[in-house]
Amino acid sequence: MKNWLYFIALTWFFTLFLPWWSLILAGLIIGIWRQPSWVFPVGLSVGFIVWTGQSLITSMQNEFILSERLSTLFTGIEAPWVSLILAGLVGGILTASSAWFGKELRGKIAP
């Protein structure tokens, strides 16, 4: 549980000040620093939570106008939660794959 909270805090901090690829950097750091076997599912959940949260905050500031347009464009459904979930899935997959790569990289460098 403590590792999961570290992962969320690091990822959230990076996304506040760095570009979109900061999720990948945070996942790589956590994958190298901690080497648990559960790094992929935790990376998926953390990336999903962080990017959905960031998208939700941004969407609330512009009254969900862009989220509705994006969900209409991609799915044909005029619901802002669809684009929030899609953004969360993209962030989760990016974070999980980079955390898994960091775990594998640590195993190759320092067995």
Buried residues in 59-87 as b, exposed as e (16+ CB within 10 A): beeeebeebbebbeeeeeeeebebbbebb
What pLDDT score does 10 carry? 87
Q: 24-83, pLDDT tens digit by residue?
A: 998 898 888 876 778 888 889 999 999 999 999 999 999 999 999 988 998 888 889 999
Q: Please tell me the distance from the alpha carbon of residue 47 to that of residue 25, in angstroms, as a whole number.
A: 12
Which two tokens mark 88? 């969360």
Q: Where are the alpha helices (DSSP H) in 1-111?
A: 2-17, 22-33, 39-61, 65-75, 80-109
pTM of the model: 0.86
Map out the domains of the chain as residue ranges.
2-109
